[in-house]
Amino acid sequence: MEGALPARDDLASLLKWYVEQGLDETIGEEAIDRFALAAQPAPAAAAAAPQAPAAPTPFRPATPSPAAAPRAPVPLESPQVVEDARALAAGCATIADLEAAIRGFEGCALKRTAKNTVFADGLPTAPVMVVGEAPGADEDRLGKPFVGVSGQLMDRMMEAIGLARGDGFYITNILFWRPPGNRTPTLAEQAMCLAFTRRHIELVRPKLLILAGGTAAKAVLDTAEGIMRLRGKWTSVRLDDGTEIPTMPTLHPAYLLRTPASKRQSWLDLLAVDKKLKELTA
């Protein structure tokens, strides 16, 4: 029937499809009826001088005249905020200080849409430190990194070489807040959080570092090389005091869930990690 509302099952299926596609965040406080906006009649032309047209949507307000325009605020993703994050991170003498600084940091806009700050999991005294990309929906809800399906795969992979989360490996991300819809973090977001991540590595001082996924590898290693070129090859992260941390870039477990055939490559990476760790602890 024309004008009839969709069935409840259809609406439930549509919402489920939205969630599966990553559309699980609202942007505005109220929904915008685009059909109602399109149906509004155009204003009649006035005999006097025309006024400035109204903005088509709340997201694109009309630009005021230069004389009346207020001074623009400094954007959150500005270089100054990155410098502030670096200065704040450098002043942290302990991991507890660093966590408190991250939880109190307001410079990253991702914090506004995230439910929780996701810092780290495991014991900082573990010989291996794993750095991933960003929290997902499960991580955002629970406040811990790598607790979803990909995190469970990560645990099984590490257990296969005798490393358990806790005293075996310590895990975190380069971002501490979930990007809406699990989108790829922007370069500005990465730069802000990377200041804390680098200090995190310095304070933990692991015997060995694993970078899970292309985003983490490119950010920490400051390279444009893709993960397929980086994975399986030993490199190092140099700390401010000159200490070199052996580093293995590898595929992210979320990628392995989408591409099971690549698990063989990751297994070879883990065997290399196991061999190197035994050499370092011998």
Distance in angstroms (rounded) separating the CA atoms of residues 239 and 128: 16
pLDDT at residue 1 is higher than 90 = no
Neighbour tally for 271: CB within 10 Å: 12
Segments in 148-252 forming alpha helices (H): 149-159, 187-204, 214-221, 227-230
Exposure string of 123-136, with b = 16+ CB inside 10 Å and e = fewer, is ebebebbbbbbbbb
Distance in angstroms (rounded) separating the CA atoms of residues 228 and 248: 12
User: Domain count of the chain?
Assistant: 1
Query: And the tokens for 243?
Result: 């200490």
Query: And the tokens for 26?
Result: 């609202």
Distance in angstroms (rounded) separating the CA atoms of residues 159 and 218: 26
Distance in angstroms (rounded) separating the CA atoms of residues 201 and 280: 18
Query: And the tokens for 149?
Result: 């399906």
Contact 78, 187 (CB under 8 A): no
Q: Angle at Cα 112 formed by Cα 107 and Cα 118, nearest 5°?
A: 85
On the CB side of 267, CA atoms within 13 Å amount to 7
Would you place residue 66 in the very low, low, confident or very high pLDDT band (cuts 50, 70, 90)? very low
Would you place residue 30 in the very low, low, confident or very high pLDDT band (cuts 50, 70, 90)? low
Q: What are the backbone dihedrals phi and psi of residue 32, each rounded to the nearest 5 degrees, phi first?
A: -110, 125
- The CATH number linked to 157 is 3.40.470.10
Residue 27 within any structural domain of the chain: no
Distance in angstroms (rounded) separating the CA atoms of residues 230 and 224: 10
Residue 196 within any structural domain of the chain: yes
Residue 61 within any structural domain of the chain: no
Query: And the tokens for 113?
Result: 């849409």
Taking residues 43-67, report their average pLDDT: 45
pLDDT at residue 29 is higher than 80 = no
Would you place residue 61 in the very low, low, confident or very high pLDDT band (cuts 50, 70, 90)? very low
Residue 13 has a pLDDT of 73
The residue range of the domain holding 182 is 79-281
Taking residues 215-242, report their average pLDDT: 94
Contact 172, 182 (CB under 8 A): no
Residue 146 has a pLDDT of 96
Would you place residue 152 in the very low, low, confident or very high pLDDT band (cuts 50, 70, 90)? very high
Residue 143 within any structural domain of the chain: yes
- Could you give the percent of the chain with pLDDT greater than 70? 75
Would you place residue 280 in the very low, low, confident or very high pLDDT band (cuts 50, 70, 90)? very high
Q: Is the pTM of this model over 0.75?
A: no
Residue 101 within any structural domain of the chain: yes
Would you place residue 77 in the very low, low, confident or very high pLDDT band (cuts 50, 70, 90)? low
Residue 90 within any structural domain of the chain: yes
Enter the DSSP assignment of 124: T
Distance in angstroms (rounded) separating the CA atoms of residues 135 and 181: 11
Query: And the tokens for 53?
Result: 């047209």
pLDDT in tens, 115-141: 999 999 999 999 999 999 999 999 999
Distance in angstroms (rounded) separating the CA atoms of residues 260 and 255: 8
Residue 238 within any structural domain of the chain: yes
- Could you give the percent of the chain with pLDDT greater than 90? 65
Give the chain's mean pLDDT: 83
Residue 197 within any structural domain of the chain: yes
